[in-house]
């Protein structure tokens, strides 16, 4: 029964740890997508370099702004020309005229601040047009919020299922030794004298099971992370092992505490004299 309890703890915590890692990576991917959103601010043709510098300083001082990059129209034309390849010369095709305006590329601290920041910047003198893809941003924000909510629900549901499964298995292990508990009571052992060996045994089983699950998850995640970063680098996956260390530490603490407390609470029915 002790081996069965250890195996149950390990399997349950592997499932919980996998769900936890999936939530962390889903939240990381959502954060990466949000961080790539930006506001494009196009200036009027009559705005000179001094006025553009004043606008940049003013926008930079706004509380929600993370970064402001000024893109002059010459650089904008070069970037646009690069998208068509080296065989195309847009400047020559346009008769030497550059119809593009000067612009700012703005990143905000929180993605949900983009619509409010865009409206404020649109009212500034010298600003011709503000573009940030309002419909796309609203859909993206809804998607990222949905991903985070679903991930949290999955982790909580998995934790509850693991808690119930581990507690039930430990209770069965204690029940299989009810004869020993009865004999110890008959010879005059106190309740805490009886509890301590089971408390320590449950804690050891929980810790060992948690360590087995941590080793399995570490090996699995290391292989997956190496494969994805090598063959599909466009997928943003968490590679900072200090983040994953939080998961491993949480599983070990959860396993040890659950094993110890499960043994203690499972013995309550046997210690009623």
Residue with tokens 């203690």: 264
- Six-digit token string for 101: 């305006």
By the 8 A CB rule, do 153 and 22 touch? no
Q: How confident is the model at residue 273 (pLDDT cuts 50, 70, 90)?
A: very low
Residue matched to tokens 């045994």: 201
Q: What is the reported pLDDT for 117?
A: 83
Higher pLDDT, 127 or 2: 127
| Predicted local distance difference test score (pLDDT) of residue 96 | 56
Report the pLDDT averaged over residues 143-171: 76
Per-residue pLDDT for 95 more than 60?
no
Residues 127, 52: Cα–Cα separation, whole Å? 10
Q: Which residue has the higher pLDDT, 35 or 67?
A: 67
Determine the average pLDDT of the residues in 184-212: 81
* Residue 273 or residue 152, greater confidence: 152
Higher pLDDT, 141 or 154: 154
pLDDT at 91 over 80: no
* Strands laid side by side in the 39-43 sheet: 65-71, 103-108, 39-43, 127-131
Are 239 and 233 in contact, with CB atoms under 8 Å apart?
A: no
- Checking if the pLDDT of 253 tops 70, the result is yes
pLDDT confidence bin for 94, thresholds 50/70/90 = low
Ranked by mean pLDDT, which of 111-120, 208-217, 240-249 comes out on top?
208-217
Indicate the helix (H) or strand (E) that contains 108. Answer: strand 103-108
3-state secondary structure of 44: coil
Contact 88, 81 (CB under 8 A): yes
Reply yes or no on whether the pLDDT at 171 is more than 60: yes
Residue 222 predicted with pLDDT over 80: yes
Interval 48-65: pLDDT, tens: 888 888 888 888 888 778
* Cα–Cα distance list, 98 to 26, 31, 72, 102, 140 (Å): 43, 36, 11, 11, 34
Q: According to CATH, what is the number of the domain 38-131?
A: 3.30.70.3040
Rounded distance, CA 163 to CA 255, Å? Answer: 9
What's residue 77's pLDDT?
Answer: 64
Question: Where are the domains positioned within the chain?
Answer: 2-33+139-270, 38-131
């Amino acid at each position: 029964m002790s081996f069965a309890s250890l195996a149950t703890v390990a399997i349950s915590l592997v499932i919980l740890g996998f769900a936890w890692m999936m939530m962390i990576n889903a939240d990381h991917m959502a954060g990466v997508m949000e961080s790539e959103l930006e506001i494009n601010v196009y200036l009027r043709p009559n705005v000179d370099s001094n006025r553009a510098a004043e606008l940049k300083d003013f926008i930079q001082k706004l509380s929600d702004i993370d970064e402001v990059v000024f893109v002059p129209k010459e650089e904008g034309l070069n970037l646009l020309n690069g998208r068509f390849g080296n065989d195309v010369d847009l400047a020559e095709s346009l008769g030497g005229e550059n119809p593009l305006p000067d612009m700012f590329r703005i990143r905000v601290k929180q993605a949900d601040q983009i619509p409010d920041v865009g409206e404020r910047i649109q009212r500034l003198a010298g600003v011709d047009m503000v573009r940030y893809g309002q419909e796309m941003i609203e859909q993206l924000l809804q998607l990222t919020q949905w991903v985070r909510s679903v991930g949290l629900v999955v982790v909580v549901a998995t934790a509850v299922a693991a808690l119930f499964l581990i507690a039930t298995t430990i209770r069965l292990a204690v029940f299989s030794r009810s004869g020993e508990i009865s004999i110890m009571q008959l010879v005059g052992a106190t309740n805490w004298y009886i509890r301590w060996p089971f408390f320590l045994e449950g804690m050891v089983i929980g810790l060992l099971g948690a360590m087995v699950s941590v080793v399995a998850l570490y090996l699995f995640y290391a292989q997956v992370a190496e494969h994805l970063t090598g063959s599909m680098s466009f997928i943003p996956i968490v590679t900072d092992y200090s983040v994953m260390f939080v998961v491993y530490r949480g599983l070990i603490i959860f396993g040890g505490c659950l094993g110890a407390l499960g043994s203690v609470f499972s013995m309550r029915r046997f210690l009623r004299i």
